Amino acid sequence: MLEDLAEKPRSLERLGAALIAWLLPARLVEKSVGASRKVGLDDIATVIFSSGSTGDPKGVLLSHYNVGSNVEQLNQVFMLSRHDKILGILPFFHSFGFTGTLCLPTAIGMGVVFHPNPLEARAIGALVSQYAVTFLLATPTFLQSYMRRCSPEDLAACSM
């Protein structure tokens, strides 16, 4: 844990770290902190915590390959481009929200607008209209709510 490595860094240590990060190439920064091992596709990228709907909640380990292949699958199915804009309403602790609304836009280089509460249909409709969102990735229950509560003009440019 980072907090165990340097519980209370001194000013000189902070200044040295800032200079190293600012002046050195990434490869040398990695060496200066002892990161000599390359990250592989099978290494853990993140931990998503399950809701426990089929038993006790647990941490699900996702590798770089898991995340990358899911992003590629979404990209192949929806054929999005950097000209699209997505509205991120799903929580990042959920695998669909993490992969579809955080990793996918980052990998493609597309615009993204985030809203913290998927239950606020009218606010979401306004954001879609205001930012010309072209793609809305959500669960069927949320999408039905938006179609009932938002005006058709708000959602006109959006694919759901």
- pLDDT digits over 107-117, tens only? 999 999 999 99
Looking at the DSSP assignment, which residues form a beta bridge with residue 113? 87
pLDDT at 12: 87
pLDDT of amino acid 96: 86
Cα–Cα nearest to 43, from 62, 61, 63:
63
Give every CB contact of residue 44 below 8 A, 6+ residues apart in sequence.
61, 62, 63
Domains and CATH numbers, the chain: 10-38 (no CATH), 44-149 (3.40.50.980)
Mean pLDDT for the chain? 86
- Token pair listed for 111: 């615009």
| Mean pLDDT, contiguous 10-residue spans, the chain (160 residues) | 67 86 85 76 89 80 94 93 92 87 93 93 92 90 90 76
Residues in the chain: 160
- Per-residue pLDDT, 30: 80
Check residue 74 and give its pLDDT: 93
Integer Cα distance of 115 and 128 in angstroms? 11
